[in-house]
C-alpha cells in the first residue's frame, strides 16, 4: 500500500498554492531569528526582544477576521497576491529602522500585511478540495511550508554569522517571487468543492452509500448562527486551541533563546535543530495523516496535544543536545497530528459561504498564541529558568487536552440537529437520510 497515494487525488489548484507557499517559505528566516536579531543588534533584554514578537502577533490577531471576510467578498487569491508582494517590499525597509519603538510599530504593520496571506490561503484550500480530500490537502500545504522552513532557518542561521540584515533581503525576495508566481500560474477555472456539492444537491443518486450520506449529513446538519460570537461550540473549540498553540510557539520564543543563550550553542545549531522538525514533517506527515484518515478529528487533536506536552516537557529533565533532538521528534509528531486535524475540523464545521470568516477567526487563535507564547516563554526563561518553562509547557498542553473532552461530548449531542432548509434535498434523498439515521439510532 502506497502511503503517498492520497497526493494523486489532490486538485491542480491545490498544487499551485503549495508551490507558491514553498517559494515563500524557503525564505522565511526573519521571524525565527527576530528575537535574536533584537537581542544582538539592538542590545535589548530578552523580555524586550519577546515583546517584538508579541507585537507581530498583535498585528496578526486583528488581521485574521477582517481578511477572512474580505476573502469571502473579494476573493482569496487576490488577497494572497497583494499580501506576498507588499510583505516583500516591507522587509527591505525593516533593517533600516534603528529605533526600538519604531521597530515595534513597524512590526505590527508588517504582521497585518504578512498574515493576510494565511486565512485567505486556508479558505481557498478548503474551497478547492472535497471534504474527503481536505485533510490531505492541508497536509500538502504543511509539507510545502515545512519544506521551505527546512531551508529558510538553516540558511538564516548561516547568514546570521555574516550579517543579520541579509535575512530581511532574502526573505523579501522570496515573498515577492511567490506573489509573482501566483500571478502567472494557470489555475483551473472550476471550483472542485462547489462542483461536487452541486452534484450532491441536484442529483440525489450521487449520494449512494451510507458513508457519503453520513458525510453530507455531518456537513449540512450543523447550524450556524448569523454571528460567530453566538456560536458557542465554535468559540469553545477556538478557546481550547490556545494553550497548546502557546506551547508550539516556543519554537520561536523560549526554545531558540534556551539553545543559544543558556546552552551556549550557535544560531546555526538552532537552525539545524529546527530542520529536524521540518524534515520529519516533509517525509512523515502525509503518510501519517493517511494512516489516521478514519480518526475523528477531535481525538487526533487530543493525541497531538499530548505528544506536544510530552515533547516540550521532557526538556526539563536533561540538557544533552541529542536528548533535545529526541524531544523535537516527539513534539513534531504532535504537530503533524494536531494542525491538519484542527484545520480540517474548522473547515468541516464552517458554512461554505462564510468559510473565509471562520478560517479568519481560527487563525486568530494562532495570532493570540503568537502574542502570548514567545514573550511568555522568554519571560519565564529569564525569570525562573528553563525547567519551569518546560514544565509549564506540559501543563498548558494538558489543559487543552482536558478541554477537548467536553468538546467531543457536546459535538455528539448535536450530531442529529435538523438540516437547514437551504440544503434540504429531494424526497428520495430525504428518505435515505431518514433510513440511515433510524438505523444508526437503533444500533
In this prediction, residue 132 carries a pLDDT of: 67
Per DSSP, the three-state class of 93 is helix
Tens of pLDDT along 81-119? 999 999 999 999 988 888 888 988 899 899 888 888 888
Question: pLDDT higher for 114 or 353?
Answer: 114
pLDDT score of 220: 39
Phi, psi (deg, nearest 5) at residue 98: -115, -10
Mean pLDDT confidence for 301-329? 93
Residue with cell 439510532: 441
pLDDT digits (tens, 9 = 90+) for 382-392: 888 899 999 99
- Classified by CATH at the fold level, domain 21-190+241-413 comes out as Growth Hormone; Chain: A; (1.20.1250)
| Distance between CA atoms of residues 316 and 388, nearest Å | 8
CA dihedral 380→335→118→166, nearest 10 degrees, is 60
The mean pLDDT of 16-21, rounded to a whole number, is 91
What's the pLDDT score for residue 393? 95
In this predicted structure, the answer to whether residue 415 has a pLDDT above a threshold of 50 is no
Is 40 exposed, middle or buried (CB count within 10 Å of its CB: 0-12, 13-18, 19+)?
A: middle
**Residue 254: alpha-carbon gap to chain centroid:** 20
pLDDT of residue 5: 61
CB burial of residue 441 (10 Å; 0-12, 13-18, 19+): exposed
Angle of the 117-127 helix axis to the 131-160 helix axis, nearest 10: 150
Whether 143 contacts 103, CB under 8 Å: no
CA torsion sign for 130, 136, 142, 148 is negative
Q: Select the more confidently predicted residue: 295 or 430.
A: 295
Question: Can you list the alpha helix ranges (DSSP code H) found in 230-296?
Answer: 232-248, 254-257, 267-291
Nearest to 357 by CA among 267, 179, 234: 234
Does residue 29 register a pLDDT over 90? no
- Residue 346 confidence (pLDDT) above 90: no
- DSSP line for 20-73: HHHHHHTT--HHHHHHHHHHHHS---HHHHHHHHHHHHHHHHHHHHHHHHHHHH
Listed residue (137, 143, 156) closest to 279, CA to CA:
143
145-183 pLDDT tens trace: 878 877 887 788 788 778 888 889 999 999 999 999 999
Sequence spans of domains, the chain: 21-190+241-413
Amino acid at each position: 500500500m502506497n502511503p503517498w497515494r492520497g497526493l494523486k487525488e489532490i486538485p491542480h489548484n491545490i498544487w499551485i498554492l503549495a508551490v507558491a507557499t514553498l517559494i515563500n517559505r524557503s525564505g522565511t528566516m526573519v521571524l525565527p531569528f527576530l528575537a535574536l536579531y533584537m537581542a544582538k543588534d539592538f542590545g535589548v533584554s530578552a523580555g524586550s526582544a519577546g515583546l517584538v514578537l508579541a507585537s507581530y502577533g498583535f498585528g496578526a490577531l486583528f488581521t485574521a477576521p477582517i481578511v477572512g471576510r474580505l476573502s469571502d467578498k473579494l476573493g482569496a487569491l487576490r488577497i494572497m497576491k497583494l499580501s506576498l508582494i507588499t510583505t516583500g517590499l516591507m522587509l527591505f525597509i525593516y533593517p533600516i529602522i534603528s529605533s526600538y519603538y519604531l521597530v515595534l510599530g513597524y512590526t505590527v504593520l508588517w504582521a497585518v500585511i504578512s498574515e493576510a496571506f494565511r486565512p485567505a490561503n486556508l479558505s481557498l484550500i478548503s474551497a478547492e478540495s472535497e471534504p474527503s480530500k481536505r485533510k490531505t490537502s492541508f497536509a500538502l500545504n504543511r509539507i510545502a511550508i515545512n519544506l521551505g522552513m527546512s531551508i529558510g532557518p538553516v540558511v538564516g542561521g548561516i547568514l546570521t554569522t555574516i550579517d543579520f540584515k541579509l535575512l530581511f533581503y532574502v526573505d523579501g525576495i522570496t515573498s515577492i517571487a511567490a506573489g509573482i508566481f501566483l500571478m502567472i500560474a494557470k489555475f483551473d477555472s472550476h471550483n472542485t468543492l462547489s462542483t461536487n456539492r452541486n452534484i450532491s444537491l441536484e442529483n440525489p443518486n450521487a449520494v449512494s452509500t451510507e458513508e457519503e450520506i453520513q458525510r453530507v449529513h455531518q456537513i449540512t446538519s450543523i447550524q450556524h448562527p448569523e454571528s460567530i460570537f453566538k456560536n458557542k461550540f465554535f468559540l469553545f473549540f477556538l478557546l481550547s486551541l490556545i494553550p497548546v498553540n502557546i506551547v508550539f510557539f516556543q519554537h520561536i520564543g523560549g526554545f531558540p533563546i534556551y539553545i543559544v543563550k543558556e546552552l551556549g550553542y550557535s544560531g546555526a545549531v538552532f537552525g539545524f535543530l529546527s530542520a529536524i522538525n521540518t524534515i520529519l514533517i516533509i517525509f512523515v506527515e502525509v503518510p501519517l495523516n493517511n494512516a489516521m484518515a478514519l480518526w475523528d478529528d477531535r481525538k487526533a487533536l487530543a493525541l497531538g496535544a499530548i505528544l506536544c506536552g510530552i515533547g516540550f516537557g521532557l526538556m526539563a529533565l536533561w540538557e544533552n543536545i541529542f536528548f533535545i533532538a529526541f524531544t523535537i521528534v516527539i513534539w513534531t509528531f504532535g504537530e503533524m497530528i494536531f494542525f491538519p486535524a484542527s484545520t480540517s475540523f474548522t473547515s468541516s464545521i464552517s458554512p461554505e459561504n462564510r468559510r473565509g470568516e471562520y478560517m479568519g477567526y481560527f487563525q486568530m487563535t494562532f495570532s493570540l498564541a503568537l502574542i502570548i507564547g514567545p514573550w511568555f516563554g522568554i519571560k519565564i526563561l529569564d525569570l525562573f529558568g528553563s525547567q519551569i518553562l518546560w514544565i509549564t509547557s506540559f501543563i498548558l498542553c494538558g489543559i487543552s487536552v482536558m478541554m477537548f473532552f467536553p468538546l467531543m461530548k457536546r459535538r455528539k449531542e448535536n450530531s442529529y440537529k435538523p438540516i437547514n432548509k437551504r440544503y434540504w434535498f429531494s424526497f428520495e434523498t430525504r428518505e435515505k437520510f431518514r433510513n440511515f439515521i433510524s438505523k444508526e439510532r437503533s444500533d
